[in-house]
Structure 1
Amino acid sequence: MMHMSMRGFDISDWQKDIDINAVDYDFVICKATQGTSYVNGYCDINIQKAKQAGKPWGFYHFMCDCDPVEQADYFYANCKNYFGEGIPILDYEDGGRIGSDGAKRFLDRIYELTGVRCLFYTYRNVVQSPHDDEDWGAIAQNHALWVAQCANDNVTGYQDSPWLPSGGFGAWKTCVMHQYTSHGRIDGYGGNLDLDIAFMDAAAWARYAKPSTCNAQPVESIEPSGSAADIAADVMRGKYGDGEERKAKLGARFEEVQNLINRAAIASADELASDVLNGLFGNGETRRAILGNRYDEVQAVVNGKANAVDIDALARAVIRGEYGDGEERKAKLGANYDAVQKRVNELI
């Protein structure tokens, strides 16, 4: 049974004007990311203040209804320097209730990358009365519970024994933290705060943040695989965001892919047509996505160049084995592939 406890609060960009150096707390938890497209710009400011003050801290990802592994990769990419220092948390609530299988895929991916088990945050009714697609047994085995249950909406300060009625926590034996109000008020800040009690001391907090299994290095790269053209097409479709978000998601592939995108924007149509014929921009929808509103202009030049090519000669070279097979052949023939392959089929 735990006899020690700490009092603190959790914040998001709703409390962007808070100066945590001006308020009393034992620990703070900051929203870091959401889904695969949002980073809280105030998170690191507050985490650095907590670190400078020597206070325990945590950081959380707000789950959305998109792919859980992609969300985990996004959380890791934007928070990699936090793992092993603060407690990572998955915030699972309405808007992101994708089922326990999806939540577990997120949690397993974070553990795979870091060796750290996230805490699991949710409302008490979620664990007591789960949906049909929610079976929390596998998650409860190795992910501690931070539960939200409020007595009412009355304004309150810190409480040493907040209301938490009997009735259990579903698959969990107990909770290690309790969020007991969203209308908290403490000296030094004039707005509402989520107030929490942690049933642990600072030493226990540190063990959750950095267990003995914590990896010094990620176990595998989360950089995207595939050709630069395929990744560039996905960038143009919005999959990798902009600016720092894109850099984080692309990792070591960023410069390679961004150079391809920049070339498509600034090179002449004739230069791009030559690139197309050399296979630089792929085929079909991949090429269309990268070239964007320049596609028709460039494709017209490509078609003119392709018409001047001796398709019969290329086909005979293919038959002699000079252009390889499969993807190698496609890459070497570029925009001429379909016409040449058709002629190859006729000749053999």
Structure 2
Amino acid sequence: MSLNGIDISAWQRGIDLDAVPADFVIIKATEGLDYVSGDCDRAYQQAKSGGKKVGVYHFADGNSSGTAEANYFVDNVAGYVGEAILILDWETNAVNCGPGYAKEFLDHVQARTGIKPMIYMSGSVVNEWDWSGVVAGDYGLWVAYYSLDSCNGYVPDAAMYPISDWAGAAMLQYTSGGYLPGWGDRLDLNVFYGDSNAWDAYAGGGTGVIVQPQPEPAPEATENAQNTSIYVVQEGDTLSGIADQYDTTYQHLAAINGIVNPDVIYPGQVIVIDGVASGSGQTYTIQSGDTLGGIAGMFGTSVGHLAELNGIENPDVIYAGDTIRIN
């Protein structure tokens, strides 16, 4: 028994899920510490009311800590816990943070919800790193392996990538070029290797309870550290305003101070300032003969992510000499 479904993000904003055949829908909810999908709840509620199974995922950016990203995710999907499979999307920059960062995220989500999340990654990332700690934690795997460039309708018996560490994957994403009734563009198509009861078991069967995170004290500035100072939050301050004063970014300040929600700071709170801004995103200059799928494979990400990030309307059409963002 298996289930067929799709995963969506802002690239499919406004999709009418009542018109698209799917046993399940997995929806991007958050990214890093500063992005919440504006279409997530609409899509979630429509999928749920239509009788579809649901999942929500967090796209890790690797710029803070597994705990901080887990808190941000849980805080923003609290209303879905116990109904949806919770998923960590592990690709692009985050991959270089290593399995320890991912396991910290997974462990912390479980600690706060009582539910074991799933992890998504490409087959190559599965085999290039040691995931034994994550496997020992009994976290399920959703693997991406594009055995089909395109297809009309679901192909639940699509080829599986030979993977290490896990005995098998819970779910396979086998194409980013799927076409289904009700949507006139490409979709990621997936097969879940289980029935609706198995899906509900991964989702927690309605038993999720949110545990509030313990506040983390701001790290103390080293007495003789160069270019490091502290700032005491005043009434009316915002983290972005403080960042502007010190020529840094609010994302960086949130990361080094353990601030889960950058929109919430308090008068009297001590903020460490080191004057370092977060690094700029990675880019790639398209070469003759490149395909977006090939570039995605090089960087351990997906065609859908690159297309969404770069505003590429047709992933089959890219041009040599153009520079695209990878993350």
- Using the size of structure 1 for normalisation, the TM-score is 0.64
Question: Secondary structure at the residue paired with 2:79?
Answer: coil
Paired residue for 1:105?
Answer: 104
Aligned to 2:184: 190
In 2: Cα distance, 1:81 partner to 1:137 partner: 31
> Which digits, 9 at most, give the CA deviation of each residue in 1:25-58, with x for residues without a partner?
1000001111111111111111101111122100
Shift of 1:155: 3.7
Q: What residue number does 2:280 align with?
A: none
1:42 aligns with 2:39: yes
How far does residue 200 in structure 1 lie from its aligned partner after superposition? 0.9
Corresponding residue SS for 2:18: helix
Q: Find the counterpart in structure 2 of residue 136 from structure 1.
A: 131
In the alignment, the residues of structure 1 paired with residue 69 and residue 270 of structure 2 have an alpha-carbon distance, to the nearest angstrom, of: 28
- Given that 1:84 and 1:209 are in contact with CA atoms closer than 8 Å, whether structure 2 keeps it comes out as yes
Give the counterpart letter for 1:184 in structure 2.
Answer: G
> Which deviations, in whole Å up to 9, do the C-alpha atoms of 1:55-104 show, x marking residues without a partner?
21000011112122211111111111111110000011122211001111
Cα distance change on mapping 1:222 and 1:75 into 2, 3 Å: farther
CA RMSD of aligned residues (A): 3.2
Match of 2:174 among 175, 180, 196: 180
SS in 1 for 2:188: strand
**For residues 64 and 118 of structure 1, what CA distance do their matches in structure 2 show?**
17
Task: Determine if contact 1:116/1:211 at 8 Å carries over to the other structure.
Answer: no
Could you tell me which residue of structure 1 aligns to residue 118 of structure 2? 119
The correspondence of residues 60-99 of structure 1 with structure 2, limited to 5 A, is 60-67=57-64, 68-97=66-95, 98-99=97-98
Query: For residues 203 and 283 of structure 1, what CA distance do their matches in structure 2 show?
Result: 47
Between Structure 1 and Structure 2, how many residues are aligned?
A: 248
What code does the residue aligned with 1:99 have? G
**Residue deviations 1:132-178 (CA, integer Å, cap 9, x gap):** xx32001012101111101142343211311225x3x2110001111
Structure 2 partner of 1:216: 209
* Counterparts in 2 of 1:203 and 1:230: CA distance versus 1, 3 Å: same
1:230-251: CA deviation from partner (whole Å, max 9, x where unpaired) = 495745322499xxxxx98279
The match for 2:152 is 156
Aligned-partner SS, 1:170: coil
Deviations 1:283-327 (A, max 9, x none): 9979xxxxxxxxxxxxxxxxxxxxxxxxxxxxxxxxxxxxxxxxx
CA distance in 1 between partners of 2:121 and 2:90 (Å)? 5
The one-letter amino acid of 1:75's match is F
Higher relative contact order (CA 8 A, sep 6+): 2
Q: Which has the higher helix share?
A: 1
Deviation at 1:17, TM superposition (A): 3.1
Q: Which structure has the bigger radius of gyration? A: 1
Matches within 5 A, 1:257-268: 257=266, 260=267
Tell me which amino acid in the other structure corresponds to 1:95. Answer: N
Q: Which runs of 5+ in 2 are unaligned?
A: 219-229, 244-249, 254-258, 275-327
Q: Is the 8 A contact 1:223 1:250 kept in 2?
A: no
In the TM superposition, 1:15-30 aligns within 5 A as: 15-30=12-27
SS of the aligned residue for 2:61 comes to coil
CA contact (8 A) 1:224 1:250 kept: no
Q: Percent identity?
A: 34
